[in-house]
């Protein structure tokens, strides 16, 4: 592998995770793609390889600690190193008041959004310590702002932020940072538009529809560029912090490293610009 840095990205089959992987591929990164959908992972891997990176895929559910350990083991077997971990896999469901949603679904949200990053971090830590590596936990503004009807999601992201802070204290040889990606045009927003009217207060459901209709959702590639930069370059001074993707101190150097365009294989369209 030489000097090619290796980054594990969970939830890499679509949205923010896929775009993060593509940015990393653009700068020649070795990217270990983790998600539950093999077909979508294959396409993202092709994009990474075409961009000049090297990709491997692991079909895994981050709620399973054994699957997380396997993803880390496979990364080491192929790339021989792990320099960063991007914990991006997440779910917004269940939607509905806490007293009414199925507790099994509530538990599932915690398992994916909080325990997944814990399992992945634990499995990767021994290698990350050696390389002064980085853990980037994709969080949400919901970690600090309560959203009626999304109790599991809010609680999981608040806990993820605090886990990041504690991890930074316990592991001084790595950089652990949580990042707010903003409101992004992903499948999660589609779920909010589809299921929100039956589960959220009317004004809240209307807000999510308005984001899409008003063109206020960020393309995934925009916050993903910041996430990719954090995975490769986040300074030790940020360890434990909860940062925003559009902080100029992150966005400016990210643009300098990655540029404005993100080529994608097999799309038959012009390159995507980071600020569109």
Residue 207 lies in a domain: no
Distance CA 87, CA 152 (A): 18
Task: Report if residue 88 sits inside a domain.
Answer: yes
In a domain, 30, yes or no: yes
Q: Which domain holds residue 172?
A: 6-182+219-261
Beta carbons of 16 and 184 less than 8 angstroms apart: yes
- In the residue annotation, 13 being an active-site residue is answered as no
pTM of this structure: 0.94
Is 45 a domain residue? yes
The stretch 65-86 carries a mean pLDDT of 98
Would you state the torsion angle of the CA atoms of residues 30, 45, 118, 140, taken in this order, to the nearest 10 degrees? Answer: 110
**Residue 268 domain-assigned (yes or no):** no
Helix 103-110 × helix 151-170 angle, to 10°: 30
pLDDT of res. 111: 98
Is 139 one of the annotated active-site residues of the chain?
Answer: yes
Cross-strand partners of 58: 34
Kind plus residue range of the DSSP H or E element containing 12: none
DSSP state of 112: I
Structure confidence at residue 266 (pLDDT): 43
Q: What does the alpha-carbon distance between residue 62 and residue 84 come to, in Å, rounded to a whole number?
A: 16
Q: Is residue 198 part of a domain?
A: no
Query: How many folded domains does the chain comprise?
Result: 1
Consecutive H or E run containing 32: strand 30-35
34 within 8 A of 13, measured Cβ to Cβ:
no
Judge whether residue 271 has pLDDT over 70: no
Task: Flag whether 205 is in a domain.
Answer: no
CATH of the domain at 71: 3.40.50.720
Q: Which residues make beta-bridge pairs with 96?
A: 150
Stated length of the chain: 276
**For residue 253, is it within any domain?**
yes
Catalytic residue of the set 26, 151, 153, 239: 153
Q: Rounded to whole angstroms, how far apart are CA atoms 264 and 23?
A: 10
Over residues 116-160, the pLDDT tens digits come to: 999 999 999 999 999 999 999 999 999 999 999 999 999 999 999
pLDDT in tens, 33-58: 999 988 999 999 999 999 999 999 99
Catalytic-labelled residue, pool 151, 157, 239, 245: 157
Name the active-site residue from 32, 121, 139, 156: 139
């Amino acid at each position: 592998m030489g000097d090619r840095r290796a980054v594990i990205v969970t939830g890499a089959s679509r949205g923010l995770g896929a775009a993060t992987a593509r940015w990393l591929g653009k700068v020649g990164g070795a990217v270990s793609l983790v998600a539950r959908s093999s077909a979508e992972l294959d396409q993202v891997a092709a994009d990474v390889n075409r961009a000049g990176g090297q990709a491997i895929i692991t079909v895994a559910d981050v709620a399973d600690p054994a699957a997380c350990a396997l993803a880390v083991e496979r990364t080491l077997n192929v790339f021989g190193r792990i320099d960063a971990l991007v914990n991006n896999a997440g779910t917004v469901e269940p939607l509905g008041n806490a007293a009414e949603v199925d507790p099994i679904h509530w538990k599932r949200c915690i398992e994916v959004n909080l325990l997944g990053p814990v399992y992945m971090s634990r499995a990767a830590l021994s290698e990350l310590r050696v390389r002064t590596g980085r853990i980037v936990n994709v969080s949400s503004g919901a970690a600090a702002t309560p959203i009626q009807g999304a109790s599991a999601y809010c609680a999981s992201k608040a806990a993820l932020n605090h886990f990041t802070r504690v991890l930074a204290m316990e592991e001084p040889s790595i950089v652990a940072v949580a990042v707010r990606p903003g409101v992004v045009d992903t499948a999660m927003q589609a779920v909010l538009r589809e299921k929100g009217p039956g589960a959220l207060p009317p004004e809240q459901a209307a807000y999510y529809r308005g984001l899409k209709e008003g063109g206020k959702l960020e393309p995934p590639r925009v916050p993903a560029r910041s996430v990719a930069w954090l995975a490769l370059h986040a300074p030790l001074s940020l360890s434990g912090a909860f940062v925003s993707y559009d902080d100029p101190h992150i966005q400016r150097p990210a643009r300098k490293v990655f540029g404005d365009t993100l080529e994608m294989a097999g799309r038959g369209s012009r390159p995507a610009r980071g600020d569109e």
